[in-house]
Structure formats: C-alpha cells, structure tokens
Amino acid sequence: MTFQEKEAKLSAGAVKYFVGGDGPPVLYLHSGGGVRLASKPINDWAESFKIFMPVTPGFDGTPFLDGVDSMQGLADLAGEFIDTVIGGPCDVIGYSFGGWTAAWLAVLHGGKIGQMVLEGPAGFRPDGAVGLASDPAEFVKQMYAHPEKIPEDGKPEETVAHNRKAMGHYHDASPMDKALVARLGEIETLTLILHGTEDGAIPEESPRLLKSLIPRSFLVYVYDAAHVMEIDQPERVSLLVRDFLTRAEGFLVNWGDEAAGLDAAAATA
C-alpha cells in the first residue's frame, strides 16, 4: 500500500500526515514510536478503509506547535483534523500513546468519532506498576514477545530516542491520567480495547480499568503479543480490528463462512 505524505493547515499550525487506502475513513493515532508505514495491520486495513495518520507534533522530526502541550491539547488537534481533513465523523484507532490521545478525543469530542480501538493504551498504569526499563535489553523484552520480528529497516536510533522524549512534552510522566480516568464513564463511543498477553510495558490492570469504566467497551487479549502487538501478532491485530470496525457489536458473533460474503457485499455497497 502506498501512503501519500501531506500537510494539514490547522489553527495551531501545520500538521504532517499520511493517507492511503480506500473505504470509510479511519483516523490512526500512532504510538510513542511514531508513524510506522510498514505496519502490516495498517496496510491490511487500508484495503478496506481510508487511513489517515497524522504525525504528532514533535515526532519523527516535526516541530512542536505552540499551545499544543497536553494530552487534551492533542485531542483537540485530532478533533480539528477530523473536521478539516476528513470532513466528518470517522472511526479511530489509537495505539499506546495514541490510545491515550484517542481516549481524550472520545471524552472531549465524542460526536466526531464512530467506533474506537485502543491498542495497549498508555496513561492508565496503576501506581506502583513497573515502568519502562532504561536498560535496552529489558526494554525490548517489555515491548516485544517476538523481537526477531522487529523490522531491520526500522527508524534510526536517534529518531526513536527523540520520539520517546517527545512524549514528555504532552504529559508529566505520571503513569495514571487521573483526570481522564474520572471521565471515562462519559465515553459513549463503542470501544475495543486490545492488550497483549505478554505486554511488559502496560500491566493488565490498565485494560481492565478501561473495560470497567467505558460503558460500551470490549476487551480482547491478543495471545503471545507484548506491547508492540502490531509487530508481534500482525494477523491477529489486523483481523480483530477489521472485524470490529466492520461489524461493530456483531464482531462478537462467529459468522463463519457467511462473513466472507457479507464482506464482499459491504465492499461493493
């Protein structure tokens, strides 16, 4: 799949974004690692959806924007992106740091989004839980169940380190966003929460808390995946999200062979 690089003129400044695919629009909010155009799930989804991936200001070599310096500020920026670039409500996928932004987006601008997927969202780590390791080898263990799948043509170390640092521009490094937790019950968006069974970065209490507080939500464990589940288990993540975005609550039902026919019908509708 080829993604085009574009620039959106928003009230706070210019925001770089990538767009590709065909179908109903989906806003993808990337993780602290930045945009990964080679992600297999993203490319799979682009076969059924038009994927919009804004680069969070300060990530992947882009500048920060004046006045956008909080998670709420990022959510406002995403809301304006939906209005300005996509032109109307869309589904949202938020991964890790992007999941945190997506949850704020659902609280502050719920009317702009249809369904939401939170992949290992950050921002909900209970007090006392183990944080991200400073030791590189330990960090890799926290993030990957299958480090052998890490793409060799990944981002330069310098960019990765810069992106990790950029997250600090938007929050005070507290593991739990208590202001957001207090408002999760306001989310009316149908939400799918994904968590890797081997996730060493986000403890299981986090997705469990989200599931208990977001009224219309589903929690699915992705087996044999750590935090970077799109690399550890791309097929499972791809299938789950596509099924959820396509069928909403109906994704609970095993449609068997019928699913293939309905997918084809949906694609030609």
Partner 1 sequence: MKFAYFHLMPYTESPEHTQDWPVPNKRFDPRTGEKLYNAYLDNMVYAEECGFDWVGCNEHHMSPFGMMSNPNLIGASLIQRTTRIKIAMVGNLIPLLNPLRVAEEYAMLDVLSGGRLVAGMFRGIPHEYVAYNMAPSESYGRLIEATQLIIKAWTEPEPFGWEGEYYQYRAVSIWPRPIQQPHPRIIMSGSSPRSAEIAGRFGAMFGIAQLKTFDDARNLIDIYRESAKAHGFDPKPEDVLVSLTLSLAEDADEAKETLTNGRRFFAEVLGGGLRTAQKLVLQKTRYYGDEMKGKFVDARKSAQISVDDLLDQGTILCGTPKMVVDQLKHVHAAMGHGVTNINMKVGNIPDETIYKGMDLFKDQVLPHVRDL
One residue of 125, 227, 236, 242 binding partner 1 per CB under 8 A = 236
Q: Which residue type is seen at 216? A: R
CB under 8 A, 24+ apart: contacts of 220-223: 220/192, 220/193, 220/194, 220/195, 221/194, 221/195, 221/196, 221/197, 222/194, 222/195, 222/196, 222/197, 223/197
Cα–Cα dist 150/126, whole Å? 28
Q: What is the largest CA-CA distance in the chain?
A: 52
Number of residues forming the site for partner 1 (CB under 8 A): 19
Closest CB 121 distance from partner 1, rounded Å: 15
Binding mask 158-197 for partner 1 (x = CB under 8 A): ---------------------------------------x
Cβ atoms within 10 A of the Cβ of 267, count?
12
Cα–Cα dist 97/59, whole Å? 12
Q: Are 191 and 199 in contact (CB under 8 A)?
A: no
Closest CB 222 distance from partner 1, rounded Å: 5
For position 103 contacting partner 1 by CB under 8 A, the verdict is no
Q: Which range in 12-20, 95-103, 177-185, 251-259 contacts partner 1 by CB under 8 A?
A: 251-259
What are the φ/ψ torsions at residue 141 (nearest 5 degrees)? -65, -35
Q: Which residue type is seen at 214? A: I
Cα–Cα dist 120/124, whole Å? 10
For position 251 contacting partner 1 by CB under 8 A, the verdict is yes
Q: Give the residue with the Cβ less far from partner 1, 83 or 235.
A: 235
Q: Give the residue with the Cβ less far from partner 1, 139 or 218.
A: 218
CA angle 150, 155, 160 (to 5 degrees): 100
For position 252 contacting partner 1 by CB under 8 A, the verdict is yes
For position 113 contacting partner 1 by CB under 8 A, the verdict is no
Q: Give the residue with the Cβ less far from partner 1, 154 or 223.
A: 223
Closest CB 214 distance from partner 1, rounded Å: 11
For position 139 contacting partner 1 by CB under 8 A, the verdict is no
Q: Report 195-234 residues binding partner 1 (CB under 8 A).
A: 197, 208, 211-212, 218-224, 233
DSSP string of 25-47, one letter each residue: EEEEE-BTTB--TT-HHHHHHTT
Q: Give the residue with the Cβ less far from partner 1, 35 or 194.
A: 194
For position 239 contacting partner 1 by CB under 8 A, the verdict is yes
Q: Give the residue with the Cβ less far from partner 1, 52 or 95.
A: 95
For position 130 contacting partner 1 by CB under 8 A, the verdict is no
Cβ atoms within 10 A of the Cβ of 142, count?
19
Cα–Cα dist 264/167, whole Å? 40
Q: Give the residue with the Cβ less far from partner 1, 144 or 251.
A: 251
Q: Give the residue with the Cβ less far from partner 1, 182 or 223.
A: 223
For partner 1, the binding residues (CB under 8 A) are: 197, 208, 211-212, 218-224, 233, 236, 239-240, 251-254
